[in-house]
Structure 1
């Protein structure tokens, strides 16, 4: 018996040691490239702040991105969905050119004012470099899936400074309702090492703050740590966050499909998208919904940071950001969806807090993570993100918000290659839900 125990422990030690040796160089490479990406991105955004006329060249930037992917992109055009497909079933592999292509084109998008994010770029950098190392290590199919997942964890954890969130996100995003724990340790090592690498390069992440909030309530002589009315407000708001997540996921596809039907020629899409963004900005008279929405272009601009304060967002800031981002991504510009989702969620949370007479900074934080949770179907990762970014004091509210938004966002999300391993509600899938709705409409002749 002792011999069997020692044998199993030795096998486990070999497994841990092997993956640690393989994942560390991957994570350092991913962290270094993400650090370069974040530095270039910040430089490009602030360069546009100093030269606002660059916005008028957005259609030209769109054509450049289209040509780069036409000439060099090949399968890299699929972006995050290609990496998810490769994790499900390794095939042709992730092209080496994906990492530099997405880095360059995302910086171009932001430098000229496109409304996009950065997570997509980081995840693709992570997947591309992990695939490269997997080839060098001559890994078998099973191990290749693990190292690709670790690359996703490294990229996501490094770009937001949330290594534990990156770990769970990489495991959770692959299939709705299922987590494969065989990649847990490699992902955790990758997320931690990549995050430390970014910090070592001197790159700092935006800090967010929730004001001190008394969430307790006295109830018939007993003190409850969680107020009932506040919890009800959180649940109602989170249902709205989930519905907005669903609207965002559908809006990007709607823009692309509608414009393709109207224009027929793919290279006209970015020109049209760029012109619409320019027109909307001139119509609104302010550039608040361009680019990431993290740094303020001028004093009083609406940003993610400002949404944590009273009066830090307009009533429909979230809707404008949704429209801008759907047009940007739907017409071929590159980047990610997550940071715009943070903006949409935090500004929507700000507006709902004003409506429900609730703590503004708390509801901005809840919207920040819950809209993201609904759009990506990753409620566990987003709950942990709330704890990593805002502290653990309001962990219960984070969990309630993320899981409520998750259930209200439907089966689909922003990643088309994400599979449904287990439906959110037993027996209910997108297809039979549509059939049920059709039967109801038919029965009542609606």
Structure 2
């Protein structure tokens, strides 16, 4: 009995001829590396249906309501005599939860207590304004997720985009429309190049994008803090680390007038969503991205340059996140600070996952998280509910989105690809018997 000698080493996916004399000269063997576990988990999350996504949000709101009720003083007092009069506890809990969520709605969508219609819809405009960087960064992250790259560096890419847009706004003197366009271009280029570093390292050395993007996030945070202390970005007339005000020629114009903060950055986010839809659904480059995300070995065999795809995916994602940074500097804040990115980059991860990395889903997920951020302050001011509850809602959404089997188990949903077996209908003879 003869044994087959071990195959020689070769590059992943390369056809390696067997050694001569084994009797298998006419047979070639394909040597492939197993798919990374992170890619399979990411694919499972993104393949979840819309029903699982909606139920994950509902479940997060329900569990957050339990926390709101538990933290309420009236509920705690009523719970002291729960067994003698349980309805008091239940009523207090319902009042606490309903008043908190109603205040959240009034602070994020529509406030009927205001005197004018413009004042009543101002919360909705705040939601739309807050959602702009979330949508843009989420669209970029979604492209990476569909290409099999777990890019979590949107925080740093937003910061670099804001730095690029801010530098052009402060140091160049250009006509109004041209000034804004050049600043937006600088933001996209800065964010794309910053993300491209991680893509290049992935393609060249195999460095995992999670590690490199985390490191780049930290570098970006300290870089902008340093630049705000130098003549590059610092306001000469201030001792604080803050930039000069953005000149009007480089600002995003107001979308609904000066009484609202909503600016044309929201239109840019809508156009970016349309662009991403076209890129991923109708273009050759998007097909290559999706092919690499589905099966990189098959993509390589089909002649697609996987390494080049890694780089371009990160560049496009970073450019979109950089535009999100420009919206903050040129439209919302009109000034650059070290906290320009807030937590938009990390929240955008949840936005992309909640939207299943699809442009339309990401757009509405960005609006949802914008509403949570905008309405959280009103909820705290009117009901005394800690604003940390909003963070709890976001965290629970992440938990349930990342664990689709858990949501299916809670709501007794069938697993995708399977269907329940139905008992065969009895025949006429069996019924008669």
Which protein is bigger by CA-based radius of gyration?
2
For normalisation by structure 1, the TM-score amounts to 0.25
